[in-house]
Amino acid sequence: MKVTFVIWLIASFLLFANSSLFSQTGTTPADTSYSKSYSRNIDSEDFSADVFNSLLKKQINDYRFKLKLDTLSTETILKNAADDQAVFMASITNITYDQDGKKKTTGKRIIFYGGSNKGEELIIKMPVKKGTEVFTYGKVVDDIMFKWLSDKKGILILNDPQYVFVGIGSSLGEEGKKVYVSAVFGNYSSFNAGARRIKELTTPFTTKKRGLKVYDDKICKRCDKFRNIEDLQKGLFVKDNNIYFKYDNVKALKKLLKDPSDGFVVDVIQKAQYPCEGDNIINNNLVNKGVMLKRYKSSKLEKKNLITDPKDLKKKIEVLVGPVPKGLTGEYELNLLVILGKKVCKTILPGYYRYRRNGLYPHCRKFYPRIHCSFRAE
C-alpha cells in the first residue's frame, strides 16, 4: 500500500513539474492577463487576495485537467469558510485547522456559513519575500502546489474525483512576510438548504443519530477486505410490507461483523425527498438520508435466522429486519449502512430495485442524483 502511494506521489509530482506553469521551467502562461498576474510582484502594502486565489485555483484546475478530473468551480459557502480560516491563521501567525466554538473545525465552519459538514481543507503558509527579494504571485502559488503535491493529504485531496467545488482564502500576516492560505473542497453534499424542507414529507427522515458516528479510517478497514461488499445490499428485499435481509455466506459475513455491536442499518429513501423543484429534502450533516430502521446487530443474526433447512442453516442467513416505515405513500428504495464499532463505514446503494408501499417495481433503474430532476439516495 505504501509503495503504491509513493508511486502515485511521484507520478503526480512529475505531472505538475512538467506543466508550463511550474516556475522552474522559466516559462509563463500564454494568456496575457494571466501572465501579468503570474509575473506580478507581491506588494505587502497592496496584496490582492483575488489575484492570488485566482492563480491558485487555476493551478489546481490545470493539474486536475491533466488527470482528466473535473475542474473546480468556486462556491460561496466554501469560499467564506476558507476566507475565515485564512484571516484567523494570519492573525495568530500560525497554520491550524482549528478555531473555537462554532468555527472549531472545517465542517463546523462550512455549517456556520450555511452548508453541511461535508468538505475537506488544505492549509499552508508560504513566504512572499526573502530578504530584499520580493516574490511574484506565480512563484508563491507554484511553491504551494509543490508543497501540497509532496504531502499525502494534499495529493489525496487534489486527486479526489468527488470534489467539484472549491473555496480559496488567503491573507498576509501582520509583518507582510508570509501568506496564509486555506482551500476548502466540496461537492453537492456540502450544501444543506434542503434540510429545512423536512416538514414537507409525510414521513420525515430520521434526525436522531442513534449513537451512530461518521466514518473512521482505522475501524472501517475491514470493509476494504470484504469481497464484493456491494452485494450485501442485494440481500435486502420487501415482503408483505416487511424488510428482510438474506445472505448466502455466513462465514464471510462473520468476518466483517465480528463484534457483537457490529451490524447494519436499513435507510429508507423516498422519491419525494428528491423533487424536481428546489433543494433535495435531506440533511447532509446526518449519516443517513432517509428513515432509519433500528440497527440490526450481528449478535442477532444467528438467533433470528429464518432458515430451517439443516443443510443451509450454517451457510445462509435470512432475517426480518423490521416493517416498512408507516406513512410511506410513494416510491422508495433501500440503502444499507454497514456499522462497525458504531461507525457508519459503508453506505451501499441499491442496484436496480425500487419499491412502492404495496409492492415492487422489478428491474427498474435506480434513482440518480437530482441535478436535473432525478433521484438517487447518496
Write out the DSSP string of 69-92: PPPPEE-HHHHHHHHHHHHHHHHH
Answer for the pair 60, 53: CB distance below 8 angstroms, yes or no: no
pLDDT at residue number 247: 95
Q: Is the pLDDT of residue 378 over 90?
A: no
Secondary structure class of 5 (helix, strand, coil)? helix
- Return the pLDDT at 237: 96
Cα separation, 40 vs 269, in Å, equals 52
Contact 116, 194 (CB under 8 A): no
Residue 159 DSSP one-character state: T
Instruction: Give the pLDDT score at 26.
Output: 42
Domain layout of the chain by residue ranges: 2-190, 193-361
The confidence band for 17, taking pLDDT boundaries of 50, 70 and 90, is: low
10 pLDDT higher than 70: no
322's enclosing H/E stretch is strand 317-323
What is the pTM assigned to this prediction?
A: 0.79
Residue 16's pLDDT is what?
Answer: 55
pLDDT at 285 over 80: yes
- Residue 305 — very low, low, confident or very high, per pLDDT cuts 50/70/90? very high
Q: For residue 129, what pLDDT is reported? A: 94
Q: In whole angstroms, what is the distance from residue 307 CA to residue 320 CA?
A: 11
Q: How far apart are CA 116 and CA 191, in angstroms?
A: 6
Instruction: Decide which of 26 and 281 is more confident.
Output: 281
31 vs 271, residue with greater confidence:
271
pLDDT at residue 310, as a whole number:
86
CA distance 190 to 282: 12
Question: What is the CATH number assigned to the segment(s) 2-190?
Answer: 3.40.33.10
Strand partners, 319: 245
Q: Does residue 368 surpass a pLDDT of 50?
A: no
**What contacts 42, CB < 8 A, 6 or more positions away?**
52, 128, 129, 134, 135, 136, 137, 140, 179
CA distance 258 to 251: 10
Reduced to 3 states, what is the DSSP secondary structure of residue 31? coil
Per-residue pLDDT, 23: 44
CB 140 within 8 A of CB 128: yes
Strand order in the sheet with 120-127: 73-74, 165-172, 178-186, 120-127
Lowest mean pLDDT among 3-12, 63-72, 165-174, 338-347: 3-12
The yes-or-no verdict on residue 282 having pLDDT over 80 is yes
